[in-house]
Amino acid sequence: MNIIVAGLGGQGVIYLTRLLAKAAIIDKHSLMVSESHGMSQRGGSVVSHLKVGGNKAPLIQRGTADLLISLDPDEAVRNLPFLRRGATVLVNSEDGLMQEVSEQITRLEIQVFSLPANRMAIELGSPAVANVIMLGLTTANPLFELNYESILVAIDIIGSNGKELNIKAFEAGFNSGKEKYLEYIYSPSKNSK
Amino acid sequence: MSELLLGNQAIARGAWEAGVTFASGYPGTPSTEIIETLAARYPETNPRWSANEKVAFEEGMGAAIGGLRVLVTMKHVGLNVAADAFMVFPYAGTNGGFVVISADDPGMHSSQNEQDNRYLARMGKVSVLEPSEAQECRDFVIEAFKLSEQFNAPIMLRTTTRLAHHKGLVEVGQREEVPQREFIPDPKRFSVPIYRHLRRPIVEQTIEALRDYAETSPLNRIENSDNSIGVVTSGISYQYVKEVLPEAGVLRLGMSNPLPPKLLKDFCSRYETVYVIEEGEPFIEEYMRSIGISNLIGKELFGVIGEYSPGRLREALEISKVPTPFTEEITILPRPPMMCVGCGHRTVFATLRQLKTIVAGDIGCYTMGALPPYEAEHTTFAMGASIGTAVGLERAGQDRVIAIIGDATFIHAGIPPLIDAVYNGSKLTLVILDNSATGMTGAQPHPAAGKNALGEDAPKLDLVKLVEATGVEMVEVVDTWQRKDVRRVISKALAHDGPAVVIAQGPCQQLPDMKRRDFLPFVVEEELCTQCDACFKVWCPAITRTEHGFPIINTAECTACTVCAQVCPPEAIRLAEKPFAVKL
């Protein structure tokens, strides 16, 4: 499974990547992770590539990613070319992706699920946990290959401080995800969002 | 046991396992995490941040001839700073194992140039190992120490950004305690130029012995030799070759200097055409051509500029690409990095923009002062270059020149040019951005920060006294968040008849103490706000507009730097009454 994690410097892309990587190891998958460091972390675009069970080349090729998790809607659009036909986008956004890409999204059968994770994080008490809310949304997705329990163990191991809040955030994302996916599965048109 | 490690963490792990007892370096992307990992996890390696790469190298050199196993780390341009010692060390040869990491940055993610340090190694007659994955980052470091002691030779381990910053599962082992080797004082080996001619042949003998070793070394490996396509490759490019040409016959060179002529000739003779796929300069290719191998396709097809990728190789080889299904161009404005919310550099650059001066910049976060909205930095070349460049510009007739340099960069390479500016009668105006951190690389400590690499208290360099000692008469310290004071003091320094130094002080927002401190953010009181938009002109990314046209401060991002409140005529920007966010 090829996963792209995108966002802006300071949103916690690297932390979210670490949690996914830890869970993949717990599930005994082979793993390659590539991260942005240094200058790119100062508010600029940040992207991580995770290859779960793939080869060791450090980057995911365009057109081959199965899943894009983005903490910012514009950064999601920037990274769309990494996706294959039929891939899934999970985006932290109030209203999905920008209108300009909707035609392509539909044509390429890309499924987009969005969650207002920033707003939810503030309601939970800290804007910093939007990334963990998005991890919850990811874990609830029926196509996601890593185990729910492994994700929780990962949060437990690298949650350092604020563990309780992280678990709350994860569950909030997970529960909203379950509703969204159910809605999607049972909706006759299977339109995204 | 295996661990998920960053390439740089794997290097640190390998150094620890190899029994390293001294490690020195200077922060620089993509090398920084090596010393950081040693400091956080393996303090028995005695890691330190040195004042600059030359100092780091020389301390390491001393420790190695004194019999310790030593790791020295730096980014590619750091080796330029250390080059004086780097070029000479092979003449003496080492005693304890000595490995220097050169972390190169193809694609210039965080650098001013794209230099390929294998050429520096060839010039210095230093052997180079190039790992291709996280596991090899660990393994090759351990191997490098063995080679270094076997051949009494300093060894360079070259990484690149993708290798340094990718993570893979790494099989790890235990630390081997290596007894210190005896130091035997020997002036003929370690001293004066008059004896150098005695050492000169030994330099050649050593590199030729390493070349013999390279012919049969397991670091250089042939795979699928029966296939019809042949590829010679090294470093991270090996992974791209495996992805794009999985069946090709491959000679993977884990040791790229010195190169093994027999092995190369023998491998190439099996194929009609051999592709040489190496990111960066044609280092291997040129050597191959120089020994008469001509059935090669290399740089003319793959190019020298920027990073390689599987896609780039596919395109060059005209192998059908896995096309991205996204056919239409999706334009998203680029999001370049910017100065942090509450960064103390912002007020200084706002002032420089207003003063319409020519600004000779330096290396650090403040290179972003050249970008909008400030556009107030006109040159950036190398560490410490701001001061010399300003002196030269002034001599060339520019009368309103300001040199700007961070505290870490000043300590690294700014002191000799300041001494020179005073000595040679320049009217230099210098602003030192003193944020108590090596900010750009992640707020590492330095000699004026009062902490060492392990986070322990350390003697604090007094920048004011240091500057005064050079003979500068006007030295003023200013709170970097006080706009009016910053403007007043910099204007005064510009007008001063003689060299003048302004030290703009305020800690980096990335420092742990700054992130964790308790403070109340600022908020806008809409009843008082007249929508004059003065606060937007401080260009704080945390200030946006509500749908009713009022400014609104993102309280989660606000650092309470006070700058927006300072410019608000009706004083509508005030401290919030309660803390906003739960701190993580």
pLDDT per residue over B129-175, tens digit each?
999 999 999 999 999 999 999 999 999 999 999 999 999 999 999 99
Output the domain CATH number for residue B359: 3.40.50.970
Are the beta carbons of A61 and B327 separated by less than 8 Å?
no
Inform me whether the C-beta atom of residue A32 falls under 8 Å from chain B C-beta atoms.
Answer: yes
Residue B112: exposure state from Cβ atoms within 10 A (0-12, 13-18, ≥19): middle
Q: What's the pLDDT tens digit per position in A28-85?
A: 999 999 987 655 566 788 999 999 988 888 889 888 999 999 999 999 999 999 999 9
Whole-angstrom distance, CA of residue B358 vs CA of residue B576: 39
Among A57-61, B2-6, B216-220, whose mean pLDDT is lowest? Answer: A57-61
Q: Is the dihedral of CA A178, A182, A183, A185 positive or negative?
A: positive
Are the beta carbons of B334 and A45 separated by less than 8 Å?
yes
In a domain, B331, yes or no: no
| Rg value, chain B, Cα | 27
Residue A189: exposure state from Cβ atoms within 10 A (0-12, 13-18, ≥19): exposed
Whole-angstrom distance, CA of residue A180 vs CA of residue B382: 52
The pLDDT value recorded for residue B518 is: 87
The predicted model gives B487-494 an average pLDDT of 98
Arithmetic mean of pLDDT over chain B = 95
In a domain, B545, yes or no: yes
Q: Does the pLDDT value for residue B374 go beyond 80?
A: yes
Residue B290: exposure state from Cβ atoms within 10 A (0-12, 13-18, ≥19): exposed
Q: How large a percentage of chain B has pLDDT more than 70?
A: 98
Helix, strand, coil proportions of chain B in percent (round to 5)?
A: 40, 20, 45
In a domain, B338, yes or no: no
Whole-angstrom distance, CA of residue A134 vs CA of residue A119: 12
Task: Compare CB distances from B169 to A31, A36, A74 and report the shortest one's residue.
Answer: A31
Of all residues in chain B, the one with the smallest CA distance to A83 is B324
Distance from CA of B35 to the nearest CA of A (A): 15
Between residues B295 and B322, the one the model is more confident about: B295
The pLDDT value recorded for residue A54 is: 82
Q: Is the dihedral of CA B410, B415, B418, B420 positive or negative?
A: negative
Whether residue B405 is found in the same domain as residue B528 = no
Whether residue B351 is found in the same domain as residue B470 = yes
Q: Does the pLDDT value for residue B581 go beyond 60?
A: no
Whether residue B464 is found in the same domain as residue B397 = yes
Whether residue B269 is found in the same domain as residue B242 = yes
Helix (H, G, I), strand (E, B) or coil at B376: coil
Q: Which domain holds residue B89?
A: 2-216
Task: Give DSSP secondary structure letters for B15-47.
Answer: HHHTT--EEEE---TTTTHHHHHHHHH-GGG-E
Inform me whether the C-beta atom of residue A129 falls under 8 Å from chain B C-beta atoms.
Answer: yes
Q: Does the pLDDT value for residue A192 go beyond 70?
A: no
Q: What's the pLDDT tens digit per position in B235-278?
A: 999 999 999 999 999 999 999 999 999 999 999 999 999 999 99
Q: Which domain holds residue A66?
A: 2-186
Which of B444, B106, B468, B405 lies closest to B278, judged by CA? B106
Among residues B513, B544, B573, the one where a domain terminates is B513
In a domain, B482, yes or no: yes
ipTM confidence: 0.85
The predicted model gives B395-407 an average pLDDT of 96
Size of interface A-B (CB pairs under 8 A): 154
Q: Domains in chain A: how many in total?
A: 1
Whether residue B272 is found in the same domain as residue B164 = no
Whether residue B42 is found in the same domain as residue B8 = yes
Whole-angstrom distance, CA of residue A179 vs CA of residue A137: 10
Are the beta carbons of B581 and A59 separated by less than 8 Å?
no
Whether residue B239 is found in the same domain as residue B164 = no
Whether residue B395 is found in the same domain as residue B465 = yes
Q: What's the pLDDT tens digit per position in B174-206?
A: 999 999 999 999 989 998 678 888 999 999 999
Whole-angstrom distance, CA of residue B426 vs CA of residue B390: 9
- Tell the residue number behind the tokens 């996280």, with chain if given: B134
The pLDDT value recorded for residue B495 is: 96
Which residues in A11-139 belong to E strands, given as ranges?
Answer: 31-34, 45-52, 65-70, 83-92, 111-115
Helix, strand, coil proportions of chain A in percent (round to 5)?
A: 50, 20, 30
Are the beta carbons of A33 and B583 separated by less than 8 Å?
no
Which of B169, B198, B225, B204 lies closest to B4, judged by CA? B169
Whether residue B482 is found in the same domain as residue B559 = no
Are the beta carbons of B338 and A81 separated by less than 8 Å?
no
The predicted model gives B456-483 an average pLDDT of 98
Query: Is beta strand B255-257 parallel, antiparallel or unpaired with respect to B127-129?
Result: antiparallel
Which of B:495-554 have CB within 8 Å of A?
541
Peptide bond into B30 cis (omega under 30): yes
The pLDDT value recorded for residue A35 is: 83
Whole-angstrom distance, CA of residue A59 vs CA of residue B164: 13
Inform me whether the C-beta atom of residue B492 falls under 8 Å from chain A C-beta atoms.
Answer: no
Which of B332, B515, B554 should one mutate to test binding to chain A, selecting the residue with the greatest count of A CBs within 10 A? B332
In sequence order, the 6+-apart residues with CB closer than 8 A to the CB of B13 are: B3, B5, B37, B42, B138, B170, B172
Q: Does the pLDDT value for residue B208 go beyond 90?
A: yes
Output the domain CATH number for residue A83: 3.40.920.10
The pLDDT value recorded for residue B555 is: 84
Among residues B216, B245, B260, the one where a domain terminates is B216
In a domain, B336, yes or no: no
Residue B526: count other Cβ atoms within 10 Å of its Cβ.
14
Inform me whether the C-beta atom of residue A168 falls under 8 Å from chain B C-beta atoms.
Answer: no
Q: Domains in chain B: how many in total?
A: 4
Of all residues in chain A, the one with the smallest CA distance to B557 is A127
Residue A193: exposure state from Cβ atoms within 10 A (0-12, 13-18, ≥19): middle
The pLDDT value recorded for residue A190 is: 46
pTM: 0.93
Are the beta carbons of B338 and A84 separated by less than 8 Å?
no
Among residues B216, B235, B258, the one where a domain terminates is B216
Output the domain CATH number for residue B285: 3.40.50.920
The pLDDT value recorded for residue B578 is: 73
Are the beta carbons of B582 and A126 separated by less than 8 Å?
yes
Which of B150, B50, B175, B25 lies closest to B94, judged by CA? B150
Q: What's the pLDDT tens digit per position in B435-455?
A: 999 999 989 999 999 999 999
Q: Does the pLDDT value for residue B385 go beyond 90?
A: yes
Whether residue B35 is found in the same domain as residue B87 = yes
In sequence order, the 6+-apart residues with CB closer than 8 A to the CB of A179 are: none
Whole-angstrom distance, CA of residue A8 vs CA of residue A49: 15
CA distances from A141 to A90, A134, B277, B343 (A): 9, 11, 40, 39
Phi, psi of B293 (to 5 degrees): -85, 125
Whether residue B279 is found in the same domain as residue B247 = yes
Q: Does the pLDDT value for residue B102 go beyond 90?
A: yes
Q: Does the pLDDT value for residue B579 go beyond 80?
A: no
Are the beta carbons of B581 and A126 separated by less than 8 Å?
yes
In a domain, A192, yes or no: no
Whether residue B161 is found in the same domain as residue B12 = yes
The pLDDT value recorded for residue B20 is: 98
Chain A residues touching B583 at Cβ < 8 A = 126, 162
Q: Does the pLDDT value for residue A191 go beyond 50?
A: no
Whole-angstrom distance, CA of residue B99 vs CA of residue B20: 10
Are the beta carbons of A108 and B326 separated by less than 8 Å?
yes
Helix (H, G, I), strand (E, B) or coil at B220: strand
Are the beta carbons of A9 and B440 separated by less than 8 Å?
no
The pLDDT value recorded for residue B330 is: 76
